[in-house]
Each structure stands twice: as C-alpha cells, then as structure tokens.
C-alpha cells in the first residue's frame, strides 16, 4: 500500500534520532525514511552514487562529486546523521564541522592548500582563468592567472600562507562570525 513507516519501528526512529543528536523530529525522520526508500530503488539498504545522480537537481550541483564521496554506501541512520548539519536545530559549530569535512577529503583533520584549491576549482569550473584576461584589459590590474593565485592572495590577507595547515578551530575562527545559513526543510505530510 505504500505506507513505508510501518517498516520503521518506534525503536528504530528513536535510535536514529539519538544518532543524529535530535537534529530531526520523529515525523521528519519518517519523511526522510520515505525519501531514502524512494531514492534507494534497488532496495539495497543504501543509496548508491548513481541513484543520487538520478536526481537532476543534485547532479547539476558543482560539489556533487565531493558530496557523493561522503554519501556513498551510507545506511539510513548515517544518512540522517549526514543531513543533520542542515537541520534548523543544528548549531553553527556543527555546520562548520560539516563544511570542514567537505574540504578535508582525506579525513586527517587538516585542510591544506590543495584541498581548498580543489573545492574552488569545483565551484568555478573553467571560468576563472578566462575571465581574468578580460578584467586585465579593462582595469589594468596585476595579472592573476588562475585559482591558485586568487586563493594565495586571499589566504595571505587573512594571515595564512600556502603552507598553512588549517584545522577545525581555524575554520571556526574564519567562518564563525559570518552568518552561516545552511538549512533545509524536510517536507512532512
């Protein structure tokens, strides 16, 4: 009949809620479970990269590949924990932790210059070096040829350099003051 919450017991819901530190209400967890089952078309208990990419809105996102590395193979409990950073009940600390994890692709707790460069490349595609040449002609500014120099300049102005290893506390210092808006609404029937 399609009433999938019957497959999720009250005990399961509470366990998931605990695992995500109460980031979502029980109703939201039920909705997320329906969504998870909808995405997990072959019923394997986890949503594969292909299944995520079949959502066009996700596939066109510049950071989709990075997120897929974090999402691949997660079961439902871990899926909810992944999304918990986007709950309105999540703290700014938790959101910054999530952003840190996106940058720190090897998971060693340190973000290096290349990590930040990779993300900048994902976000700008091929559009930075070409644009730069145009700006040069008009404004006669110093020549930046690519993301590396943009990133280096901005890092140095913030008091870091190319060799700096950023850790979680650095991220908190850098991002903590800007109003971080990172929330999604889970549709509840």
Using CB under 8 A, which of 19, 74, 86, 152 touches other proteins? 86
13 to 42, contacts with other proteins by CB under 8 A? 32, 35, 38-39, 41
User: Which residues pair with residue 111 across a beta bridge?
Assistant: 166
Binding status of residue 177 toward other proteins by CB under 8 A: yes
**Residue 25's closest CA among 80, 93, 95, 99?**
80
Residues numbered 105 to 124 that lie near other proteins (CB under 8 A) are 116, 119-120, 123-124
One residue of 141, 143, 165, 167 binding other proteins per CB under 8 A = 141
d(CA 141, CA 187): 48
> Is residue 45 a contact partner of residue 62, using CB atoms and an 8 Å limit?
no
Task: Name the 3-class secondary structure at 151.
Answer: helix
Q: Answer whether 128's CB lies under 8 Å from 150's CB.
A: yes
Please state the closest distance from residue 45 (CB atom) to other proteins, in A: 17
What is the SS3 assignment for 111? Answer: strand
Judged by CB under 8 A, does residue 183 bind other proteins? yes
Among 11, 43, 137, 139, binds other proteins (CB under 8 A): 139
Minimum CB–partner distance for residue 13 and other proteins (Å):
17
CA distance 117 to 162: 10
| Spatial separation of the C-alpha atoms in residues 117 and 109, rounded to whole Å | 17
3-state secondary structure of 125: coil
Regarding 101 and contact with other proteins (CB under 8 A), the answer is no
Give the footprint of other proteins on this chain (CB under 8 A). 1-3, 32, 35, 38-39, 41, 52-53, 55-64, 67, 71, 83, 86, 95, 98-99, 102-103, 116, 119-120, 123-128, 131-132, 135, 139, 141, 144, 150-151, 153-155, 157-158, 160, 171, 174-175, 177-178, 180-187
């Amino acid at each position: 009949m399609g009433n999938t919450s019957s497959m999720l017991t009250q005990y399961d819901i509470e366990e998931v809620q605990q695992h995500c530190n109460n980031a979502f209400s029980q109703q939201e967890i039920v909705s997320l479970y329906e969504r998870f089952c909808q995405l997990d078309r072959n019923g394997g208990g986890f949503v594969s990269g292909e299944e995520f990419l079949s959502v066009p809105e996700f596939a066109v996102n510049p950071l989709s590949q990075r997120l897929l590395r974090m999402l691949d193979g997660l079961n439902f409990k871990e899926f909810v924990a992944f999304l918990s950073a986007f709950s309105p009940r999540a703290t700014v600390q938790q959101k910054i932790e999530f952003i840190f994890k996106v940058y720190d692709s090897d998971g060693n707790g340190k973000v290096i210059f290349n990590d930040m460069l990779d993300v900048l490349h994902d976000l700008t595609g091929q559009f930075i070096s070409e644009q730069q040449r145009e700006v040069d002609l008009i404004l006669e500014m110093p020549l930046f040829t690519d993301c590396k120099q943009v990133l280096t300049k901005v890092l140095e102005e913030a008091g870091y350099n190319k060799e700096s290893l950023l850790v979680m506390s650095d991220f908190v210092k850098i991002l903590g003051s800007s109003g971080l808006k990172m929330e999604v609404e889970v549709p509840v029937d």
